Structure 1
Amino acid sequence: MHVTIGAILRNGLLINIAFAIAVTLVMATIYLNIDRLQQPEELLPLIRPYFILSLIGIVPIAVFNVMSQWLFAINQTRIPMWIVLTANCLNIAGNYALIFGNWGFPELGLMGAGYSTLASRILCPTLALLVLLLGKRYKCYRDGFINSSINRRMLSKINRTSWPVAIQMTLESVCFSFSAVMAGWISAVSLAAYQIIVITGTLGFCIYYSIGSAVSVIVANNAGLNNTPGMRKSTFAGYHIMLAVSTVSSLIFILFEKNLILLFTEDTRVIALTMTLIFPLVLYQYADATQILFANALRGTSNVMPMLWIAFVSYMLVGVPAGYLVTFTCGLGTYGIVLSFSISLIIAAAMFLYYFLHSTSKERATNCQ
């Protein structure tokens, strides 16, 4: 079994690297046409070099995602946590040194943040690979990883399971990325305020997704044991935790709104606009937490095909048009962009919940026969 897991890891790594390279090529095409996105002219000299650093970091992040999922699956969840914390410490130190020119380093501004982020992104997969290649307790997985060959059947199985999840996450990212483009259409101040709100909201998202990943692993373990009641029980236990965490996140955003914004900028125009976006930011926290939880629970059941069309409907057919209509047709501007997140996320959350309940009911009926 351990050798098979190592083989799956190797094949999965190959697929993810290939996909990351494809994404890099697509993003490179966008880079070559970035002036066509009608962003503020004064920001383009900053956007272009930072964009290149982001492109370089795509493959390392893809490798780390595979390695961390392997560690999650074998219940070694603390290792990815310590790796990410170490990388974040490096990123913080690098930002301090390179953005402002401290400790004898040159003052690089935004590019300093880009270099620091890239270094942390390279560190994560490096440490995870060292765990696999040097850790004594992982020798059985290492043997399978090193000695296995590329298996078409295994590649096919990984593809069938992973692509719906990958496309779901891609479409969600496209929705948020297009929202950033719309903010740029309004003004540079709007784009700055939008980025602050999105980054602030990511503080909650990262915690939500960590809980969702844990639920996915537990649901998958129960699915392997044909324990349908356990699948539902663990999912709704995780949802109770998720609701508590999203409540805490919302309270932090409400009580410390100005303190959080001041971490990003001292521009009075950006601060004033960003503060008006706190309500829609808080509004979509519960919807985001819910869709993350039940998307991961559905992934744990291995019934992942519905995730593809759920993402397409909620993010592309509803989310993007709703964002445009609320922002420009209704004249709500940047406020409308952030407000529209709740629309797409609520629809996604409802459909993920429905299909999770449907999948577990079907499993239970099958097991009873």
Structure 2
Amino acid sequence: MKNTKDNKKAVKLTLFALTWPIFIEIFLHMLMGNADTLMLSQYDDNAVASVGVANQLLNVIIVMFGFIATGTSILIAQYIGAKQEQDANKISVVSIAANLLFGLLLSFILFIFAPSILKAMNLPPELMESSLLYLRIVGGFAFIQALIMTIAAIVRSHGFTKDAMYVTVGMNLLNVIGNYFVIFGPFGFPVLGVTGVAISTTISRFIGLIAMFMILHYRIKGSLPFSFLKTFPKQEIKKLLKIGIPSAGEHLSYNTSQVAITYFIASMGTIALTTKVYTQNLMMFILLFSIAIGQGTQILIGQYVGAEKLDEAYKRCLKSLKIAILVSLGMAILFSFFSKPLLGIFTDNPEIITLGSILILLTIILEPGRAFNLVVINSLRAAGDVKFPVYIGILSMWGVAVTLSYLLGIVFGLGLIGVWIAFIVDEWLRGLLMLRRWKSKKWKKMSFVQKETEAS
């Protein structure tokens, strides 16, 4: 009995040790985006909307980098659980090379086709020029983010979640300092607006990438076998894509559906578009608790599954889910009480503040549903059940979220409130279906490392 209690305590401490640095790291990533928004709001509301739309597109690209990064994280966690460090290091090397090439390709596409992409977004004419500048600068160097994501996935899966957090702290400080100079122009520095913010973001990410490479070199057990790339690593690429494509497919479906919904919102006018950007910036601070718990749980469950501790994995997901629901609900209620002052940080437009306050009130219903998806989907992926979330995600995001957003927001004239109702229905439907899948325990036979062991 004593040993059981000690084991439970160890697991609980491990979850906390993994989760709190991830929480702070994600918080600071969000702060970087909000720093751009907040500082630009002192410059021009249209600039905020421009950056918001460009970032919506960049989020889709970042998700595509997740094809490799997600597969890397899950495979390394399972290999570490199975005590196969050499295989984990091979996967690390292959993932870095693969995401660099993929990142360079997508960066080139974004730079060349940015005008056509923004025109297809139905962007108001007054936002076009600044959105194009931001998208070309940040998007043209998107390969930097691809490498940061990949190395961070490697480092986190080895349990060094604090290191990635420290790098993010540094990137944020550099970004805020850079924003201050290019937006407010102290000491005679030229005021560059959106262009300057894009340059500041890119430079801070580049310095962050250098720091991540240094951490990778000093932290990972054994030297990474880059010589392994002399021959094409067919088997390792196959493993990464087998996990990564379905896993990132769910994220890609979500972000492309959000682009479609942003298209509907753009037709409602600049006020609606700006309100969406401000409100979702605040909502992300509620969401980050569930994201951090979900990512910490994914690492633990990956290691449990690799070590064939399947009952521990099952219980860990359900415990993490309860924590995520309670915390996200509490934070949503807290934010709803202070919604007007919080929105007032970004704007003094009464129309935006009133509408945004209603949307944050609806978030009390929305966020617990989103907690289901963030925790349970990460758990299913970590266990090797990567296809089911994609199938359900595509059906619900497009069949429910996009369809209802159009019907309620445009056809029935409910505007952004109709869009938020569509979000609520989508998140709860998917979340409950994911929980049912986890409880079915079909994932117990889907471990990638276990399959390899059985085959050999």
Q: TM-score, normalised by structure 2?
A: 0.74
Q: Which has the higher contact order (CA 8 A, sep 6+)?
A: 2
Q: 1:121 to 1:340 in 2, by over 3 A?
A: farther
User: Structure 1's 356 and 77: CA in aligned 2 closer, same or farther, altered over 3 A?
Assistant: same
Q: What residue is the counterpart of 2:392 in the other structure? A: 310
Q: How does 1:346-365 map to 2 (within 5 A)?
A: 346-359=428-441, 362-363=444-445
Distance in structure 1 (CA, Å) of the matches to 2:321 and 2:404: 27
- Give the corresponding residue for 2:124: 40
Pick from 129, 149, 153 the counterpart of residue 213 of structure 2. 129
Asked if the contact 1:71/1:80 (under 8 Å) is kept, the reply is yes
- Whichever residue aligns with residue 281 of structure 1, its letter is T
Please state how far the C-alpha of 1:265 moved relative to its aligned partner. 1.8
2:4 aligns to what?
none
Whole-Å separation in 2 of the counterparts to 1:324 and 1:22: 33
Compute the displacement of 1:103 (Å).
5.1
3-state SS of the aligned residue for 1:261? helix
Q: Is the 1:3–1:145 contact (alpha carbons within 8 Å) kept by the matching residues of 2? A: no
Closer, same or farther: CA 95–249 of 1 in aligned 2, 3 Å: farther
Distance in 2 (CA, whole Å) between partners of 1:286 and 1:67 is 31
More off after superposition, 92-101 vs 311-320: 92-101
**Separation in 2 of the partners of 1:232 and 1:294?**
10
Question: 1:166 Cα shift?
Answer: 0.9
- Checking the alignment, whether the CA contact within 8 Å between 1:94 and 1:113 is kept in structure 2 is yes
Task: Please name the residue that 2:161 is paired with.
Answer: 77
Aligned residue among 243, 249, 255 for 1:161: 243
Query: What's the CA shift string for 1:41-83, capped at 9, x where partnerless?
Result: 1111221111212313422222111111111211111111111
CA offsets per residue over residues 174-204 of structure 1, 9 Å max, x none? 1222222221111101100011111112222
Give, in whole Å, the separation in 2 of the partners of 1:103 and 1:260: 30
TM superposition shift of 1:332: 0.4
Q: Which residue of 1 aligns with 2:225?
A: 144
Give 2:142's match in structure 1, choosing from 58, 68, 78. Answer: 58
Secondary structure in 2 aligned to 1:143?
A: coil
Q: Distance in 2 between matches of 1:16 and 1:205?
A: 27
Please, which moves more after superposition, 14-23 or 265-274? 14-23
Once the two structures are TM-superposed, the CA of residue 38 in structure 1 deviates from its matched residue by 2.5
Conservation of the 8 A alpha-carbon contact between 1:99 and 1:111: no
Amino acid at match of 1:358: S
Q: Which residue pairs with 1:16 in the alignment? A: 99
Q: Is structure 2 residue 365 aligned with structure 1 residue 283? A: yes
Shift of residue 92 of structure 1?
2.2
Task: Specify the alignment match of 1:117 in structure 2.
Answer: 201
Deviation at 1:104, TM superposition (A): 4.4
Contact kept? 2:138, 2:199, Cα under 8 Å: no
**Counterpart-to-counterpart distance in 2, 1:331 and 1:271:** 20
Question: Unaligned 5+ residue runs, structure 1?
Answer: none
Counterpart amino acid of residue 302 in structure 2: A
In structure 2, the CA distance between the partners of 1:105 and 1:131, relative to structure 1 (3 Å rule), is same
Partner amino acid, structure 1, of 2:97: L
What is the CA deviation profile of residues 285-332 of structure 1, one whole-angstrom value per residue up to 9, with x for unaligned ones?
111121111110011101112122122111122221111111012210
TM-score, normalised to structure 1, is 0.90
Alpha-carbon separation, structure 1, partners of 2:373 and 2:432 = 7
CA drift of 1:85 comes to 1.9
Percent sequence identity over matched residues? 20
Taking the aligned partners of 1:61 and 1:125, their CA distance within structure 2 comes to 8
- Closer/same/farther in 2, CA of residues 23 and 252 from structure 1, 3 Å limit: farther
* Residues 227-236 or 214-223, more deviating: 227-236
Counting only pairs closer than 5 Å after superposition, residues 1-369 of structure 1 correspond to structure 2 as 1-24=84-107, 27=110, 29=113, 31-102=115-186, 104-133=188-217, 135=218, 137-138=219-220, 140=222, 142-145=223-226, 147-149=228-230, 150-359=232-441, 362-363=444-445
Question: Aligned equivalents of 1:31 and 1:358: distance in 2?
Answer: 47
Aligned residue for 1:186, secondary structure, equals coil
- For 1:249 and 1:80, the matched residues in 2 are separated by 25
CA contact (8 A) 2:93 2:226 kept: yes
Contact 2:151 2:213 in 1 (8 A): yes
For 2:278 and 2:226, the matched residues in 1 are separated by 41
Q: Is contact 1:212–1:293 with CA below 8 Å preserved after alignment?
A: yes
C-alpha deviation, 1:336, in angstroms: 1.3
Instruction: Kindly provide the CA deviation profile for residues 109-131 of structure 1, in whole angstroms up to 9, marking residues without a partner as x.
Output: 23333222223332333211111
Tell me how far apart the structure 2 counterparts of residues 248 and 124 of structure 1 sit (CA, whole Å).
33
Counterpart amino acid of 1:3? Q
Q: Residues of 2 paired with 1:90 and 1:245: CA distance? A: 31
Q: Give how far 1:22 is off.
A: 4.9
Structure 1 residues 37 and 224 mapped into 2: Cα distance closer, same or farther (>3 Å)?
Answer: closer
Extract unaligned runs of 5+ from structure 2. Answer: 1-83, 451-456
Structure 1 residues 176 and 237: CA distance shift in structure 2, 3 A = same
RMSD: 2.4
